Amino acid sequence: MQESYRRFYASPTLQALLSRELSALTPILGGVYGNNALFLRPHESVAPKLPSHLVSHVVEVSPSGGDQFTGAARFDAAELPFVNDSFQLVIAQHAFELVPNADDLASEVSRVLAPEGVLLVLGFNPLGSWRPWLVGQSMRGARLSLQSASLCRMRFARQQIDTLQVRYPGLMLPNDPAQPHSRYSRWFADTFGRFGSSWLLLARKRRSTLTPLRFRSKRERALNPRLAPGAHRACA
């Protein structure tokens, strides 16, 4: 991905925000069980780690330009190299803002998410207090396709994934990343969070009641950990 994106996500401002967002996932991840999770990071330079969770194995990838993702696997956003219903948990942290066709990625994420699986999507608030700063960053090269939680909700509703809740775990201002957890900041975020930096969509895939009568494609034949044939692995 372009150097401007690396500088953008490696900046103290974004590192503070991304850490804040991931810490907000702690109470959710404590109740998700399963073998496999998919974590779509915004960039390979992002340092924050996922909070403790109960999923055995996490596949971590990040956008590398255009529709391409790289990391534990290499693939195109329109064709994830995993079999159907592979993951009990999918986390997408600002990943949908970086691909040209978010609908294709949403369709593939929905396909690989297991019935009753949990989907967590984080995105920048297009009408929030960070908008002027984000617009300035876009003019410097870090172009983002800002999308609302409502748009994300509708996108996944078409894929039989129901939104359970929308939360606002971000920060109010981008110029004070050193004290994101101060008492004032917490009160302000709780009161005016929907006008802050970002939103978190918590959703669950509906349980399938029908078994589709169709042959599996080559892409959908399982390999441990449920990668489809031809997927190229690389170190995360």
Angle at 201 between CA 81 and CA 64, to 5 degrees: 40
Kindly report, residue by residue over 16-69, the tens digit of the pLDDT.
899 989 999 999 998 898 899 999 998 887 777 888 888 999 999 998 877 889
User: What are 153-165's pLDDT values in tens digits?
Assistant: 999 999 999 999 9
pTM: 0.83
The CATH number that domain 3-208 falls under is: 3.40.50.150
Average pLDDT over residues 118-136: 92
Q: Look over the chain and give the mean of its residue pLDDT values, rounded to a whole number.
A: 82
Domain ranges of the chain: 3-208
Check whether 176 has a pLDDT greater than 80: no
